[in-house]
Amino acid sequence: MNAFARTVAAKYFFSFQKWGFVHWLSLFAFLGVWVGTAALIIILSVFNGLENYVGSLFSRIDPDLKIELVEGKFFEENPILLSKITSITGVKGVALTLEENALLRYGKYEDLARIKGISPLYLQLLPSTKGKPNFLKEGATWDSNAPNIWLGAGLHQRLGVNPKDYTQNVTLFLPRRGGINFADPASSYLQQRFMPTGRFEVEPEIDQQLAMVPISYLRSLVNDSMAVSSIEIFTKPGASIASIQEEIRRILPAQFSIKNRFEQQETLFQIFRLEKWVGFLILSFIILIAGMGLIGALRLLVVEKQKDINIFSALGAPWSSIQTIFILFGVHVSGWATVLGILTGMGIVLGQQHFGWVVLSEYQQVPYPVALKVADIGYVLLLGLGMGSIFSYFTTRKMG
């Protein structure tokens, strides 16, 4: 690509004298790509921010790694396996949990819930502030030796729990193993009373169905003092979760699976990423439509500069160099528009991060989450430059 072609293309692009229809058509294509690129950077950053925000919500309650059965519900606690996992470099601690579906009753209200029995170490390993788990919004100190229950905010509200009424308990009903006795339905259920001592908030879907009780009480209800649903593993800051996951996988029996935080909520995060790339494709199509004005501008420019083309040809310039002039003109239009669009989008995203112009929740005044990713900027830059190069090449290839 010679200096002659670059110089002439730049002169055509930056020439502000004698503005004609070609220049106005180029300007409209320029503005369309600029605005579309800025919107694309903003949309991608919004999806990144939402994914990070939801991930941070789940980090309040989800472990870094979780071991479960591939098939089946419960397994027996294995002290040897727990000891091996705890000894792995980077592992902060291991907690045992037991989950069951049950019916909760408080006064005249009833609701189905997912009951999570937690070991004493579980709450100590979760992110906390001054010894209080970050997900707990109100409540007393957890007592693993007392029949207390913490309820998700939605479940707490639907049951109509009065946190100031210390005389009213939540009754948990759990079906006995072996099915329902139709002759005496009441005997088909095990029940245990719990004192509602806490309300937590993680994420609306979880808050609508989750309750926590000490694992010892849930084990007594299922009549198995060693029953476990999952082994939840928490890592130290800076530890490589992928390396720890691989090391644990090597010592796990075949009937177990181990999942990282993304894999534990795989469906949700896949939806986020699918929506992100659907948005990318839609806005890319809009940018391409806006950039098609460049095709008309190039055709008119070739006609307008026919005198210059004849002079360049008479001076011995090859057709490939003359064609390169107009290709570079198209690249200038789309390239500068793309760069300015990226800078505009980055400016708006960084401004939202710093000033919080748009809020996610008016009640809590939480700024709408946004996050820039270098890879996204690279994709958008390639889209703009690729579009300009392809449009320019196919528009000018038959000019000779």
Tens of pLDDT, residue by residue over 7-20, are 887 877 776 555 56
Residue 394: per-residue pLDDT: 87
Nearest Cα residue to 141 out of 120, 127, 162, 115:
120
pLDDT tens-digit readout, 40-53 = 999 999 999 999 99
pLDDT at 184 > cutoff 60: no
pLDDT band with cut points at 50, 70 and 90 for residue 305:
confident
What single-letter amino acid sits at 338? T
The answer to whether 167 touches 105, Cβ cutoff 8 Å, is no
Separation CA 167–CA 165 (nearest Å): 6
For 118, other C-beta atoms within 10 Å of its C-beta total 22
Which residue has 């579980």 as its token pair? Answer: 122
- The two three-digit tokens of residue 57, written as one number: 């919500």
Q: What is the distance of C-alpha 55 from the center of its chain? A: 6
What single-letter amino acid sits at 209? Q
The answer to whether 58 touches 263, Cβ cutoff 8 Å, is no
Q: What percent of the chain has pLDDT over 90?
A: 61
- State the chain's mean pLDDT as an integer: 89
pLDDT at 113 > cutoff 80: yes
In terms of phi and psi (left: phi > 0; alpha: psi -120 to 50; beta: otherwise), the region of 223 is left
* b/e sequence 382-396, b meaning 16+ C-beta within 10 Å: ebbeebbbebbeebb
- Alpha carbon separation from 380 to 37, 280, 284, 386 (Å, rounded): 7, 9, 9, 10
First-to-last alpha carbon distance for the chain, in angstroms, is 18
Separation CA 363–CA 150 (nearest Å): 24
pTM over 0.75: yes
Greater model confidence, 178 or 156: 156
Nearest Cα residue to 253 out of 75, 29, 51, 5:
75
Torsion angle in degrees (nearest 10) through CA of 260, 263, 268, 272:
80
Nearest Cα residue to 28 out of 214, 253, 294:
294
- Alpha carbon separation from 327 to 6, 378, 393, 397 (Å, rounded): 10, 22, 6, 9
Nearest Cα residue to 127 out of 68, 202, 66, 208:
202
Greater model confidence, 59 or 75: 75
> What residues does each domain of the chain span?
3-58+269-396, 65-261
The answer to whether 25 touches 300, Cβ cutoff 8 Å, is yes
Separation CA 287–CA 72 (nearest Å): 50
Nearest Cα residue to 251 out of 98, 76, 83:
83
pLDDT band with cut points at 50, 70 and 90 for residue 4:
confident
Residue 23: per-residue pLDDT: 73
What single-letter amino acid sits at 367? P
Greater model confidence, 158 or 175: 158
Separation CA 42–CA 350 (nearest Å): 10
- Alpha carbon separation from 101 to 211, 218, 294, 381 (Å, rounded): 10, 11, 61, 50
How does DSSP classify residue 168? Answer: P
Backbone angles phi, psi at 105, to 5 degrees: -130, 130
Q: Give the contacts of 66 (CB within 8 A, at least 6 positions apart).
A: 230, 231, 232, 233, 258, 259, 264
